[in-house]
A and B are shown apart, each in its own frame.
Chain A
């Protein structure tokens, strides 16, 4: 078992942009690290560089103490689970799991013992003599896991291993992988585009965008203290509402106004975002998670902390209701493109869309005006030009 260290790693393809740009990341020994980001963000490339499947254009990659830039994949002592599992179709489960050992010329009885141990751990014992095509998706996924763990590698690499499973199985496998990693204590690098997976599984999560590392932090910190606008928008579901607003400071009170609305911001928010004070009279991007709304009757706040909007759509989820509304300001943009636009075509609507999560006991009709209390002490503020938080 070993740590994995990226030192100024870059990956350039011929006549293309950098797939990974100057990545610095230390993955501790035994850590469960999740790389997350929208497609094309370079997370898979980073993973494949650890595996040795992508050449490293620049920088230094270490596994443990060893620099592995020029070490071929087979000599890196790592195991990988692929998105499509990449099982050998012509080999039985037993042969699939044992292939690495066979290649390493381990004795036959030793191979059998270790394959059976791994199969036992994953509940595959009765399928050992089947071919992959006779297995269900979940079973195949477990065979791929078995192939990885039988080698007792220094690092596990997983490339979206759950994305081919149905939703229910995915939840099940998620907890299985967490427990497996805890039991084996092996360093794990896990790539996913699904931020829920990232939040629930990783000890730490590395958020990437367009080849650049945005933030590495434990999941809760990502949620509470996003390092920039992108992370703020990416983490959380439904995503954080980001609204371009004008800041007015009147004495100790800070007000944000947008699309005819005006909210007073709690002083607690100012403690977290002291930089806001210097923005009097300027535009900022004001971030408010859907769960930080409540119906006015559920939360006692001042009148100046209530937002009145027209409900365009009410999605009853059972425990909660999602209220969709639009406020009349252009959606915020960073680098000229609307943020979060990568997965969000809705961001192209004329106004800025706002989603509020309120308690499920309420019945809300479409077109109805609702009064939403805002927990303004939990709001976030970002610089509209750079996307940096106003800390």
Chain B
């Protein structure tokens, strides 16, 4: 009495019939591919941009060739044909399925779903509670923690969620969405896409089967490759469309003058980069010379006084260079401010005294709270007349002789001198807790024996910190410094909310590269130039990443303490 007592289930479609159907389907695909090739190359349809047209042509040719190969191969039962057919059908299924959803408005209809959710938020929360109950009820309420959860309690959760779902559907009223889908699905193009999706899906499903693999003699390695790619495919498709493709496109666009709309796009070579990075320096007799001493198109970036000679430094994109200067200052201030406290605090938190976990959790909260909320709160704290910062400084001045509060409340974010400093404070406040946790992980790799040995040697707390903790945490420190720097280089949100009177203000005191890029791309509509800025920024960030990479490698070879 084996597993196979009941006998193999009779397959619905005999393998050979199925393969013949698939071959036929591929032939249809060849025909359709040729037609669409012709349609795409048909001149006169100026509604489509050339790029799209080219893409469609290439796509049609690829589809036709793939179908042809698959049809021939499956007809001859060639070993590789199953793989070719599977890949073709699967990709076609993905493409046509996405197109179908697009035509049905399923993607953009998500906003309508948002409306429904807004109307039916209460039943939605009940569903969430029910499902959470299903997840945790077993562990929480079971007497024997080692036994699996009691099924009755889980069923109650499922039941609750099911009831709430009904309520949800009634409250959300999906009739509008359904009728929209009903309207659209009857259009011929949509029906065609539906047919393609169904056929390619069915063909994929059929060819995937084990018995078909046996018939084609697919090797185990090939089978592995297929299933590996199948598992990876959702991820890989997303990776291609939303990462790799855009990345390439960004590089291309950075060599173009590129506007959001179709007009005004032209290839400009490396001009965008030249414009971003151009500097000009010229000496001048007067102390504060203007743009006229510089080459045409350059504006004054800063005045310098070297050895009694006045110099004027100019740039073509002054705002970008100012933002680079700002971010350099920010980096120098904000990185130590968010790393040093973390180093000290983590050394205390690693001591395993009671209550350390509580402090660790508290310190971590700012980094999860959301930067917009944090910036709004700090905006209120920095407020010049009734803000807490000024108030506390005033009170401190009453107690501490060395604090000298200004007579009037200091306008922290709207003063040229302190605007960037305010951003540093917020950044450090948000990130030191995260860094503390990174350091805590580093502490775990320090052998306890070192501390015990130091104890026996009679070292004091400071000596232990200075001579053991800090050197042992060298690699962690490097990692923390780099990650914090990378984060700081991309400063945007805090500035967007906090700086005044406009983002980057006052007088560009808080302009950052990302802000400059955002303004170029989305307010100035210079997307080509902004892409070039993005790549310049990327190179700067990459410098840090690369240093980190090198360090990790070195660390791996030279090794810490084992």
In the complex, A195 Cα to B219 Cα: how many Å? 38
In the complex, A104 Cα to B1 Cα: how many Å? 13
Q: How many residues of A contact B (CB 8 A)?
A: 19
Question: Which residues from A are CB-within-8-Å of B1?
Answer: 152
A154 interfacial by beta-carbon distance below 8 Å: yes
Interface 1/0 per residue, A333-372 and B, CB below 8 Å = 0000000000000000000000000000000000000000
How close is A57's CB to chain B, nearest CB, in angstroms?
12
Cβ of A151 and Cβ of B147 under 8 Å apart? Answer: no
B residues 18-55 in Cβ contact with A at 8 Å: none
Question: A104 — nearest CB in chain B belongs to which residue?
Answer: B3
Main secondary structure of the interface of A (DSSP, over half): loop
Cβ of B146 and Cβ of A106 under 8 Å apart? Answer: no
Question: Which residues from A are CB-within-8-Å of B144?
Answer: 134
Cβ of B4 and Cβ of A129 under 8 Å apart? Answer: no
Q: With A55-B220, A70-B220 in contact, is A92–B148 under 8 Å at CB?
A: yes
In the complex, A77 Cα to B210 Cα: how many Å? 16
Partner of A129, one of B2, B3, B147, B210: B147
How close is B143's CB to chain A, nearest CB, in angstroms?
12
A130 interfacial by beta-carbon distance below 8 Å: yes
How close is B76's CB to chain A, nearest CB, in angstroms?
21
How close is A13's CB to chain B, nearest CB, in angstroms?
14
Question: Which residues from B are CB-within-8-Å of A151?
Answer: 2-3
Question: Which residues from A are CB-within-8-Å of B6?
Answer: 106
A133 interfacial by beta-carbon distance below 8 Å: yes
How close is B2's CB to chain A, nearest CB, in angstroms?
6
Question: Which residues from A are CB-within-8-Å of B148?
Answer: 91-92, 129, 131
Cβ of B147 and Cβ of A77 under 8 Å apart? Answer: no
Interface 1/0 per residue, B118-150 and A, CB below 8 Å = 000000000000000000000000001011100
How close is A184's CB to chain B, nearest CB, in angstroms?
11
A218 interfacial by beta-carbon distance below 8 Å: no
Interface 1/0 per residue, A224-240 and B, CB below 8 Å = 00000000000000000
Cβ of B147 and Cβ of A131 under 8 Å apart? Answer: yes
Cβ of A133 and Cβ of B3 under 8 Å apart? Answer: no
A residues 57-76 in Cβ contact with B at 8 Å: 70, 72
A residues 25-60 in Cβ contact with B at 8 Å: 55
Cβ of B3 and Cβ of A106 under 8 Å apart? Answer: yes
In the complex, A106 Cα to B6 Cα: how many Å? 9
In the complex, A119 Cα to B559 Cα: how many Å? 51
How close is A105's CB to chain B, nearest CB, in angstroms?
8
- Give the contact-size bracket for chain B: 10 to 19
A201 interfacial by beta-carbon distance below 8 Å: no
In the complex, A48 Cα to B372 Cα: how many Å? 57
A259 interfacial by beta-carbon distance below 8 Å: no
Interface 1/0 per residue, A105-134 and B, CB below 8 Å = 010000000000000000000000111011
Our count of residue pairs bridging A and B at CB distance below 8 angstroms stands at: 37
Interface 1/0 per residue, B134-178 and A, CB below 8 Å = 000000000010111000000000000000000000000000000
A residues 134-155 in Cβ contact with B at 8 Å: 134, 151-154
Cβ of B147 and Cβ of A92 under 8 Å apart? Answer: yes
In the complex, A133 Cα to B145 Cα: how many Å? 11
Most chain A CB within 10 A, of B3, B146, B147, is at: B3
In the complex, A55 Cα to B2 Cα: how many Å? 25
Cβ of B146 and Cβ of A133 under 8 Å apart? Answer: yes
Cβ of A134 and Cβ of B146 under 8 Å apart? Answer: yes
Cβ of A101 and Cβ of B146 under 8 Å apart? Answer: no
Question: Which residues from B are CB-within-8-Å of A152?
Answer: 1-3
Question: Which residues from B are CB-within-8-Å of A130?
Answer: 146-147
Interface 1/0 per residue, A312-331 and B, CB below 8 Å = 00000000000000000000
A212 interfacial by beta-carbon distance below 8 Å: no
Question: Which residues from B are CB-within-8-Å of A131?
Answer: 146-148
In the complex, A72 Cα to B3 Cα: how many Å? 15
In the complex, A134 Cα to B145 Cα: how many Å? 10
In the complex, A152 Cα to B5 Cα: how many Å? 11
Q: With A55-B220, A70-B220 in contact, is A101–B3 under 8 Å at CB?
A: yes
A100 interfacial by beta-carbon distance below 8 Å: yes
Question: Which residues from A are CB-within-8-Å of B4?
Answer: 77, 104
B residues 169-218 in Cβ contact with A at 8 Å: 210
How close is B144's CB to chain A, nearest CB, in angstroms?
8
Q: With A92-B148, A131-B146, A134-B146 in contact, is A77–B3 under 8 Å at CB?
A: yes
How close is A364's CB to chain B, nearest CB, in angstroms?
46
In the complex, A333 Cα to B147 Cα: how many Å? 57
Most chain A CB within 10 A, of B4, B6, B148, is at: B148
Cβ of B2 and Cβ of A77 under 8 Å apart? Answer: yes
How close is A92's CB to chain B, nearest CB, in angstroms?
5
Question: B221 — nearest CB in chain A belongs to which residue?
Answer: A55
How close is A90's CB to chain B, nearest CB, in angstroms?
8
Cβ of B2 and Cβ of A153 under 8 Å apart? Answer: yes
Q: With A55-B220, A70-B220 in contact, is A154–B147 under 8 Å at CB?
A: no
Question: Which residues from A are CB-within-8-Å of B146?
Answer: 130-131, 133-134
Cβ of A100 and Cβ of B147 under 8 Å apart? Answer: no
Question: Which residues from B are CB-within-8-Å of A106?
Answer: 3, 6
Question: A131 — nearest CB in chain B belongs to which residue?
Answer: B146
Question: Which residues from A are CB-within-8-Å of B220?
Answer: 55, 70, 72
How close is B499's CB to chain A, nearest CB, in angstroms?
52
A residues 79-98 in Cβ contact with B at 8 Å: 91-92
Question: A150 — nearest CB in chain B belongs to which residue?
Answer: B3
Question: Which residues from A are CB-within-8-Å of B221?
Answer: 55
Interface 1/0 per residue, B217-249 and A, CB below 8 Å = 001110000000000000000000000000000
How close is A108's CB to chain B, nearest CB, in angstroms?
14
How close is A178's CB to chain B, nearest CB, in angstroms?
23
How close is A87's CB to chain B, nearest CB, in angstroms?
13
Cβ of A154 and Cβ of B2 under 8 Å apart? Answer: yes
Residue contacts A-B, CB under 8 angstroms, 18 given? A55-B221, A70-B220, A72-B220, A77-B2, A92-B148, A101-B3, A104-B3, A106-B3, A106-B6, A129-B148, A131-B146, A131-B147, A134-B144, A134-B146, A134-B147, A151-B3, A153-B2, A153-B3
* Interface residue ranges, B against A (CB under 8 Å): 1-4, 6, 144, 146-148, 210, 219-221
Give the 7 A-B CB pairs with smallest separation, nearest first.
Answer: A134-B146, A104-B3, A152-B1, A131-B146, A92-B148, A152-B2, A77-B2
* Interface residue ranges, A against B (CB under 8 Å): 55, 70, 72, 77, 91-92, 100-101, 104, 106, 129-131, 133-134, 151-154
Apart from A101-B3, A129-B148, A152-B2, what 13 extra A-B contacts exist at CB < 8 Å?
A70-B220, A77-B2, A77-B3, A92-B147, A92-B148, A129-B147, A133-B146, A134-B146, A134-B147, A151-B2, A151-B3, A152-B3, A153-B2
